[in-house]
Amino acid sequence: MLGRVLVLETSTETGSVAITRDGVLVSDLSFASRDATGARTEALAPAVVQCLGGATTPLREVSAVVCGAGPGGFTSLRSAAAFAKGICSALSIPLYAVSSLELLAWSAVASDGYLIAALHAGRGEWFCQDANRDGDRTELVGVTYLMGDEELRVRAVRMHAQLIGPGLDVDASPLARAVVPRLSDIEARGAVDLDSWEPTYGRLAEAQVKWEAAHGRPLTT
């Protein structure tokens, strides 16, 4: 993916931003959360400004945006998606989405073999994605699934898999800069539609769960 690309990732408690130029990383930084509800949404815009400054790249020169698509924190993912859409709409540039679990698998320093990328889902559960690493290539296997902590650890033993994620066997978080070697793959998948695209949250927002429980019916949008 040529040109100057802005990458945003906010699925976990640690958000990150990166700038690439013609497929090379030129600037990146991470920002922490206030609590366990996801990356601090108010820290995203300043982080982007700082990262653009570090890359000596004016926002108007950004040619594409890549946004982490979840699953993960509802508010932080939604905020990053809105931020990304706003930039792409204003500059008439494409928006690309990449699974945050795929970013996690790319971000981790792990040995070759089968691995399970996992992110906290709350309620003692994990958002999970199987993958296989062979040298510089890490390919996803199957679909994303939700699994309890004990069940996940049993599965990892049974599959002879490395558990990758915050606080797991390989302690890692999805990082924006991890897209660099895979930019051409992401571009080949095609840009998302700005009007209809939303992140994959993995589960309903707590506010929606409480509303539906109180009213005894699904909340329609």
Q: Give the tens place of pLDDT for each residue, 5-53.
A: 999 999 988 899 999 999 999 999 998 765 544 556 788 999 999 999 9
Asked if residue 221 belongs to a domain, the reply is: no
117 contacts 107 by C-beta, under 8 angstroms: no
- Count of residues making up the chain: 221
Query: Is residue 192 classed as helix, strand or coil in its secondary structure?
Result: coil
Query: Is residue 114 classed as helix, strand or coil in its secondary structure?
Result: strand
* Segments forming the whole domain that contains residue 39: 4-101+173-215
Asked if residue 158 belongs to a domain, the reply is: yes
Q: Answer yes or no: do 162 and 179 share one domain.
A: no
pLDDT tens-digit map of 119-173: 999 889 999 999 999 988 899 999 999 999 999 999 999 999 999 999 999 999 9
48 contacts 66 by C-beta, under 8 angstroms: no
DSSP E strands: which ranges in the chain? 4-9, 15-21, 24-31, 62-68, 95-98, 113-122, 125-134, 137-148, 162-165, 170-171
DSSP state of 182: G
Which residues, other chains included, contact 82 with Cβ-Cβ below 8 Å and sequence gap of 6+? none
DSSP state of 108: S
Which residues, other chains included, contact 206 with Cβ-Cβ below 8 Å and sequence gap of 6+? 74
Q: Answer yes or no: do 17 and 118 share one domain.
A: no
pLDDT tens-digit map of 75-134: 889 999 999 999 999 999 999 999 999 999 999 888 899 999 999 998 899 999 999 999
pLDDT higher at 213 or 66? 66
Backbone angles phi, psi at 41, to 5 degrees: -65, -35
Count the domains in the chain.
Answer: 2
pLDDT higher at 1 or 55? 55
Q: Answer yes or no: do 92 and 195 share one domain.
A: yes
Task: Please give the model's pTM, rounded to 2 decimal places.
Answer: 0.89
Q: What is the CATH number of the domain that holds 138?
A: 3.30.420.200
Which pLDDT belongs to residue 36? 47
Q: What is the CATH number of the domain that holds 12?
A: 3.30.420.40
Q: Answer yes or no: do 92 and 177 share one domain.
A: yes
Closest C-alpha to 11, from 105, 136, 116, 149: 105
